Structure 1
Amino acid sequence: MYSDNIQISNLTLLNSPSWNVHPVYSRIEDSYIVSGDDCIAVKSGWDEYGISFGMPTKQLVIRRLTCISPYSAAIALGSEMSGGIEDLRAEDITAIHTESGVRIKTARGRGGFVKDIYVKGMTLHTMKWVFWMTGNYKAHADNHYDPNALPVIQGINYRDIMADNVSMAARLEGIEGDPFTQICISNVTIGMAAKAKKVPWTCTDVEGISSGVSPRPCDQLPDQGPEKITACDFPAEPLSIDRVVLKSCTYRMKYT
């Protein structure tokens, strides 16, 4: 934490009992991860502690990730998101035998926000869910949280996704009285598994649009027609982290 100009690269980590690498406010790229939990978990503080600290995770870049995680997500946002998560950009993601692609986890008492999330270019093989959002993730740090602290989930954008052997396309569950809004899903083709669920989409307390999505999304995400296939645009302007030039180094053993 509170560090500048730190680079971790060309490193292999095996059999960690918990988190392998825990960077704070940074960029993640060119990674191959096999995990018993989320391959990448984006967080920003838990309940009243995250709210009071008030430092959002923002302008995070994730690109060229390959993930295998049979029981969790390729990228998870939350559940500790009480300080806020904003302007996350993920692209060129491959997930194999992974429970879900991008998962958003929150609940009453979390407060905070997850907004302006941009994901494009995902290739997914053998998934339980492609899209999963839940406002009912009830774990709390202690009993001091404010049950009236409602999270704001808005501006969630997914585009250019190909998936096959999927059990269920999406499970989108907002919070009653606090819906997840401005969801945009565009240019998505999901191949369902032979024993897939009969209803591929379930949606409650969510609002948004879709375009060029198969199988057809739930009524809460009405199709805007083929002319809107460019919906959910990925931001064109670069972030400051994109201008950082990564360094390479070598070492040589000296024998005497």
Structure 2
Amino acid sequence: MSGGIQDVRAEDITAIHSESGVRIKTTIGRGAYVKDIFHPDDKFDPKAIPVVQNISYSNVVAENVTMAAKLEGIPGAPFTGICIYNVTAEVVKSKKPIWNCTDVEGVSSHVTPTPCAQIPEYPDRITHCPFPEDDLPVNGVGLEECAYQRAKP
């Protein structure tokens, strides 16, 4: 993490009995950023503040969850550019808040239940969240079926 993270995709996720479907975790002392891939170095700075920006969640359905989302930035260095579009969370009764948002900034559209104030809804202005359109090399990977039969001596 001290070198940074970016251009990460998460697609077609099914999370069952999971604490979180997608988790981006960092802390003060890690420094760098969470946005694009950058090679780590050995210059650890315990006071370095990470920059987390441009995180998109689109077309998500969550069932039987105890909270819609927990978005916690860093005091004085909020996570910015968060976009949440076309997300539905079926929240069961819980003592936890439905949305837990601190030190984050962003926008949302077509989200149920209504997101926290830091991620306000703009249903008439937001029609999607940014997502890369290019194919990943792994998309071209195919599996071939083969058979092996041991020759008799």
TM bracket (short chain): 0.7 to 0.9
Residue 104 (structure 2) aligns with = 206
SS at match of 1:216: coil
SS at match of 1:183: strand
Q: Deviations over 1:75-121 (max 9, x none)?
A: xxxxxx222221112211111111111001100110122116xxxxx
Q: Which amino acid aligns with 1:182?
A: G
Q: Which amino acid aligns with 1:223?
A: E
Residue 110 (structure 1) aligns with = 30
Q: Which amino acid aligns with 1:110?
A: R
Contact 2:2 2:44 in 1 (8 A): no
Choose 1 or 2 for highest CA Rg.
Answer: 2
Contact 1:207 1:220 in 2 (8 A): yes
SS at match of 2:80: strand
Structure with a larger share of its residues in strand: 1
SS at match of 2:7: strand
Cα distance change on mapping 1:246 and 1:112 into 2, 3 Å: farther
Q: Unaligned 5+ residue runs, structure 1?
A: 1-80, 117-143
Contact 2:66 2:96 in 1 (8 A): no
Question: Following TM superposition, where does structure 1 have runs of at least 4 consecutive aligned residues deviating by more than 3 angstroms?
Answer: 239-242, 244-247
Contact 1:167 1:196 in 2 (8 A): yes
Q: Matches of residues 74-153 of structure 1 in structure 2 within 5 Å?
A: 81-115=1-35, 145-153=44-52
CA distance in 2, matches of 1:173, 1:105: 9
Cα distance change on mapping 1:163 and 1:217 into 2, 3 Å: same
Q: Matches of residues 96-245 of structure 1 in structure 2 within 5 Å?
A: 96-115=16-35, 145-193=44-92, 195-197=93-95, 199-228=97-126, 230-242=127-139, 244-245=140-141
Q: Which amino acid aligns with 1:146?
A: D
Q: Unaligned 5+ residue runs, structure 2?
A: 37-42
CA distance in 1, matches of 2:141, 2:113: 41
CA distance in 1, matches of 2:70, 2:141: 39
1:249 Cα deviation (Å)? Answer: 5.5
Q: Deviations over 1:129-154 (max 9, x none)?
A: xxxxxxxxxxxxxxx94222111111
SS at match of 2:118: coil
Contact 1:212 1:226 in 2 (8 A): no
Contact 1:82 1:110 in 2 (8 A): yes
Q: Which amino acid aligns with 1:168?
A: M
SS at match of 1:88: coil
- Tell me if 1:253 matches 2:133: no
Q: Which amino acid aligns with 2:120?
A: P
1:247 Cα deviation (Å)? Answer: 4.9
| Matched pairs, number | 146
Cα distance change on mapping 1:203 and 1:87 into 2, 3 Å: same
